[in-house]
Amino acid sequence: MKLRNIAYTLLKPAGARAVLKGLIPVGTQQRFRRWLGGKEEVQWCRVVMNREIERYIGSLDCSNLDVLEISGIGAQGRYNFRSYRSAEYPAYDLCSDPLEEEGFDLIIAEQVLEHVLRPDRATANVYRMLRPGGIFIISTPFLVKVHGVPLDLYRWTERGMRELLETAGLNVLATASWGNRECLFADMKAGLEWTTYEPSRHSLHNEAQFPIVVWAFAEKRRSE
């Protein structure tokens, strides 16, 4: 039945694009768009989250930061980081071992923690990779459809995210979330497509009871 559904989806152009998007890592998709000079499409559900995360990164002393971005290259070239490294999921398994003990001042993990088998191990490894005073920026979905590429396992509220990060030893600086029912319903369609934001049509009003995405900023205490 699953093979039949995939075959049927591939027969439709929009469906084929959705499947390919699901199979190609986010970082690779971003590289292709930049290489082709195409316009960056922003998903409606990510607009506020992206804006707030970019604002926070911009408030840091970027020129003194060694940065690791997990599963994506969204921050590459946007800030004057001292150094920048990208580790693609699932080629790099965040649950296994740190890439470098106390090697980074900033680690960004965008929409990846819901896919890993052991998020507790993943956050513990983030802690080990951060230098004292280092910052962890994490974003995850909440009220979104299952998108198992290759797995989709977990969801967190703001409070749940805080508990996860604090259990790993991190000091949570802030949590936030965004969503509204109009955006939620727009993405409640089969397949891996997400609604592209159109300012003239789509509201960014936040309904706190219907969070679609959740994000947090945390740090490794300097005294540890």
Domain extent for 214: 42-219
Mean pLDDT, rounded, of the chain:
86
The whole-model pTM stands at: 0.82
Does 87 map to a domain? yes
Does 22 map to a domain? no
Q: Specify which residues 140 forms β-bridges with.
A: 214
171 φ, ψ (degrees, to nearest 5): -95, 115
Over residues 135-149, the pLDDT tens digits come to 999 999 999 999 987
Closest CA to 126 of 161, 77, 175: 161
* Strand-pair category, 171-178 with 130-141: unpaired
Over residues 117-140, the pLDDT tens digits come to 999 999 999 999 999 999 999 999
Over residues 10-23, the pLDDT tens digits come to 444 444 444 444 44
Does 117 map to a domain? yes
What CATH number does residue 154 fall under? 3.40.50.150
